[in-house]
Chain A
Amino acid sequence: MGAAALRVQFDTFLGGPLDWRARPLPQAVPSGIAEIDLPRGGLTEIVGPASSGRTSLLLSILAAATARQEACALVDAEDAFDPGSAAAAGVLLDRLLWVRCGHNAEHALKAADLLIQGGGFGLAILDLGDTPPASARRISLTSWFRLRRAVENTPSVLVTVARQSLASACASLVLECARDRAAWSGAEPAGPPASRLLRGIHARATSTHRSRTCSPVFTAAAL
């Protein structure tokens, strides 16, 4: 019996033709924002300028991962992580490994590589959000390929935060954040500032992935 006949038999049995060459879609994990799911075994980039909601989105992802009881790692290149904000966002801090790299992007990259090679983390984050663009751009494409290869075929999610996209083709998903507006409460700007409060920001995350396009709007509320 030839391969073609076998295939016809399989198709008949399974109720329709199958795309034998299609690669299975990676398993997606929720980010805490309805329209954003992150691919397991892939690199996700969150990019945007300061105050664009990148870190709020990141903490939401982190909170969702720790709620699933996964071990998470945050490699913090610029020592910018605020444990208080994270706890308020629902992150279970005892499931989080925090590596403080003291303003050294090279150390951050090395630490992230060691963590991913070690394996076992459900979520690994490389935060280059405050790294000057000139330093961040010095990270070679080979390093990003190495990170992507290390995380490929594993159930880990690798997320990077930066001002602009650095990993280019190595990223499975790029989420570009932009702030729509900040929400203030109380009197008008001209009024007494003591009667006002920063309530939060309205931000938009635009996916620039080839096969998935979405632009969810999320609101990050201040405490």
Chain B
Amino acid sequence: MFACLHGSGALTALAFEFSPVVEQTGPGTVTFAVAGLDRLFGHPQDVAAAIARRAREVQVKANLAIADNPDAAICAARGFSGVHVIPHGDEAKFLGDLPVALLEPSPELQETLERWGIRRFRDLAALPPLGIAERLGPEGLRLRERARGEAERKLAPVEEPLRFEDAMEPEYPVDLLEPLAFLLARLVNGLVTRLATRGLATDELRLRLTLETRAIHERTLRLPVPSLDSKAMLKLMQLDLEAHPPAAPVVHVWLGANPVKPQAAQSGLYVPMAPEPVKLELTLARIRMVVGEGRVGTPELLDTHRSDAFRMAEFSAAKPRAAGRTQMKVRLALRLFRPPRQARVAIASGKPSFVTAEGIRGKVLDLAGPWRTSGDWWTADPWSRDEWDIALSDGALYRIYCEEKGWFVGGNYD
């Protein structure tokens, strides 16, 4: 059993809601298989009613016809307005009044048929097949079959576009994150189910919130690995929205997922332990909520001699393996004071003799220095300082330095 929609609007999308086998027959005409839908809706009339109801909901204006073969359904949808179900075996009778032009014959054939006075399906259907074959050839026979509603063929299905997105409009503007999370849960679960049925996962979720002020609030959530863990996605989205809340109540929610192949990884007995990537992302999002953005990650040293020069990069537990250290030797570590503590330093014989800073006070017992370092003099942010390593009478070893702004305690050796 086949259905045909002829009209305007999102016909293909509507057809895909009812069937996976959809043919784009022509401009404004879509044919799709509805065999089996009777088990869901009942009689063919009920199937037609369900399609028509959905068409009204999605504002598609189209004629609908259901028949045993696709060509009969196409001719009926193009020829009759409204909803029609052609009973089995009555195709020729049902289509008899339609003009032959609906069969789209070639111009020469059309002219011949007109000269013969054949203007309706009924007239063409009544002609003897042998005579048509002799005079009009195979094209004429095919036209006769279609006019009788007996043409059998397979549909040429179109691929369903892989778009994983969904939208929702709440009944009233949502101004709290908790009710918004409920809407998001519905959207995320729907998308994840659709991805799972196609054997896909996602590595990126795009959220677009339309606010009451007509402004758009957009957020993108990137996952470290392709995943289908809807709970983790929801929690990450919730944490992200808590950190970056929309400026006004939300009137429309749109969510899109980037479809990718799921990650297939083989675990091994000797693989070093590492956190599960999606779980780690969730943990890091929670920690960022506590300590703030930009304070969680992997330190990366910068290519400079400037003290304390580093940048924070994204932490990835699944980085390629680098060569491990083979020789273990304990190195003296420096603990930095961030920000450096401003100090008052007494100088005797050109050397620091007494240091006072916040939480630090003592006589210099031993020292080495000064070590002058400088750099970036060719930029707008040059630096230059004299460093000393000192042992104070409070029992600790410090690094102090003198620069343009004065004396500072940079850290202590530990």
User: Which of B308-324 touch A at CB < 8 Å?
Assistant: 308, 310, 312, 315-317, 319, 321-322, 324
**In contact, A99 and B287 (Cβ under 8 angstroms):** yes
User: Which of A84-122 touch B at CB < 8 Å?
Assistant: 84-90, 92-102, 104, 107, 110-111, 114-115, 117-122
User: Given contacts A111-B291, A119-B275, A155-B273, are A97 and B328 in contact (CB under 8 A)?
Assistant: no
User: Given contacts A68-B324, A82-B335, are A102 and B295 in contact (CB under 8 A)?
Assistant: yes
B411 sits at the interface (CB 8 A):
yes
Q: Chain A nearest CB: distance from B152 CB in Å?
A: 60
Closest partner residue, chain B, to A89 (CB atom): B331
B16 sits at the interface (CB 8 A):
no
Q: Determine the main DSSP class of A at the interface with B.
A: mixed
> CB-CB contacts of A54-69 with B at 8 A, as 1s and 0s?
1111111001101111
Q: Which of B276, B316, B324 touches A66 (beta carbons < 8 Å)?
A: B324
CA distance A82 to B308 in the complex (A): 7
**In contact, B275 and A120 (Cβ under 8 angstroms):** yes
Residues in B whose Cβ lies below 8 Å from that of A86: 299, 333
CA distance A84 to B302 in the complex (A): 10
Residues in B whose Cβ lies below 8 Å from that of A97: 284, 296-298, 315
User: Given contacts A67-B324, A197-B368, are A101 and B279 in contact (CB under 8 A)?
Assistant: no
CA distance A122 to B397 in the complex (A): 31
Q: Which of B300, B328, B411, B412 has the most CB of A within 10 A?
A: B328
Residues in B whose Cβ lies below 8 Å from that of A100: 291, 295-296
The size class of the interface chain A forms with chain B is 35 or more
**In contact, B295 and A200 (Cβ under 8 angstroms):** no
The size class of the interface chain B forms with chain A is 35 or more
Residues in B whose Cβ lies below 8 Å from that of A64: 325, 328
User: Which of B324-345 touch A at CB < 8 Å?
Assistant: 324-326, 328-338
A80 sits at the interface (CB 8 A):
yes
CA distance A101 to B367 in the complex (A): 32
**In contact, B397 and A184 (Cβ under 8 angstroms):** no
**In contact, B328 and A90 (Cβ under 8 angstroms):** yes
Q: Chain A nearest CB: distance from B348 CB in Å?
A: 12
Q: Chain A nearest CB: distance from B398 CB in Å?
A: 8
**In contact, A53 and B275 (Cβ under 8 angstroms):** no
B32 sits at the interface (CB 8 A):
no
> CB-CB contacts of B250-286 with A at 8 A, as 1s and 0s?
0000000000000000000000111110011011101
CA distance A58 to B370 in the complex (A): 29
User: Given contacts A89-B330, A184-B368, A193-B367, are A63 and B397 in contact (CB under 8 A)?
Assistant: no
**In contact, B298 and A96 (Cβ under 8 angstroms):** yes
Residues in A whose Cβ lies below 8 Å from that of B292: 102
CA distance A7 to B369 in the complex (A): 71
Residues in A whose Cβ lies below 8 Å from that of B272: 68-71, 122
> CB-CB contacts of A27-59 with B at 8 A, as 1s and 0s?
000001100000000000000011111111111
B391 sits at the interface (CB 8 A):
yes
**In contact, B413 and A51 (Cβ under 8 angstroms):** yes
**In contact, B369 and A93 (Cβ under 8 angstroms):** no
**In contact, A51 and B412 (Cβ under 8 angstroms):** yes
User: Given contacts A118-B283, A194-B369, A196-B368, are A85 and B333 in contact (CB under 8 A)?
Assistant: yes
**In contact, A80 and B413 (Cβ under 8 angstroms):** no
CA distance A129 to B336 in the complex (A): 11
**In contact, B273 and A53 (Cβ under 8 angstroms):** no
User: Given contacts A69-B324, A221-B332, are A114 and B368 in contact (CB under 8 A)?
Assistant: no
**In contact, A32 and B330 (Cβ under 8 angstroms):** yes
CA distance A60 to B6 in the complex (A): 75
B414 sits at the interface (CB 8 A):
yes
Q: Which of B316, B338, B365, B396 touches A79 (beta carbons < 8 Å)?
A: B338
**In contact, B301 and A94 (Cβ under 8 angstroms):** no
**In contact, B336 and A81 (Cβ under 8 angstroms):** yes
Q: Chain A nearest CB: distance from B355 CB in Å?
A: 14
Q: Chain A nearest CB: distance from B73 CB in Å?
A: 57
B169 sits at the interface (CB 8 A):
no
Residues in B whose Cβ lies below 8 Å from that of A83: 299-301, 310
Q: Which of A69, A70, A101, A115 touches B283 (beta carbons < 8 Å)?
A: A115
B290 sits at the interface (CB 8 A):
yes
**In contact, A98 and B273 (Cβ under 8 angstroms):** no
Q: Chain B nearest CB: distance from A145 CB in Å?
A: 21
**In contact, A80 and B336 (Cβ under 8 angstroms):** yes
Closest partner residue, chain B, to A156 (CB atom): B273
Residues in B whose Cβ lies below 8 Å from that of A121: 273, 275
CA distance A213 to B61 in the complex (A): 86
Residues in A whose Cβ lies below 8 Å from that of B287: 99, 111, 114-115
**In contact, B395 and A49 (Cβ under 8 angstroms):** yes
Q: Chain B nearest CB: distance from A175 CB in Å?
A: 13
**In contact, B283 and A184 (Cβ under 8 angstroms):** no
CA distance A193 to B295 in the complex (A): 38
Closest partner residue, chain B, to A68 (CB atom): B272
* Known contacts A71-B273, A220-B333, then 17 further A-B pairs from the complex at CB < 8 Å, ordered by chain A residue: A51-B396, A59-B331, A67-B324, A70-B273, A80-B335, A81-B335, A82-B333, A89-B333, A93-B299, A96-B315, A100-B291, A102-B292, A118-B282, A119-B276, A182-B366, A193-B369, A223-B331
Chain B residues at the A interface, C-beta cutoff of 8 Å:
272-276, 279-280, 282-284, 286-287, 290-292, 295-301, 307-308, 310, 312, 315-317, 319, 321-322, 324-326, 328-338, 351, 365-370, 388-389, 391, 395-397, 411-414
Chain A residues at the B interface, C-beta cutoff of 8 Å:
32-33, 49-60, 63-64, 66-71, 79-90, 92-102, 104, 107, 110-111, 114-115, 117-122, 129-130, 155-156, 179, 182, 184, 186, 189, 193-194, 196-198, 200-201, 218-223
11 contacts between A and B (CB under 8 A): A51-B412, A80-B337, A81-B335, A96-B315, A97-B315, A101-B295, A111-B291, A114-B283, A129-B335, A220-B330, A223-B332
Top-3 shortest CB links A-B = A120-B275, A67-B324, A118-B283
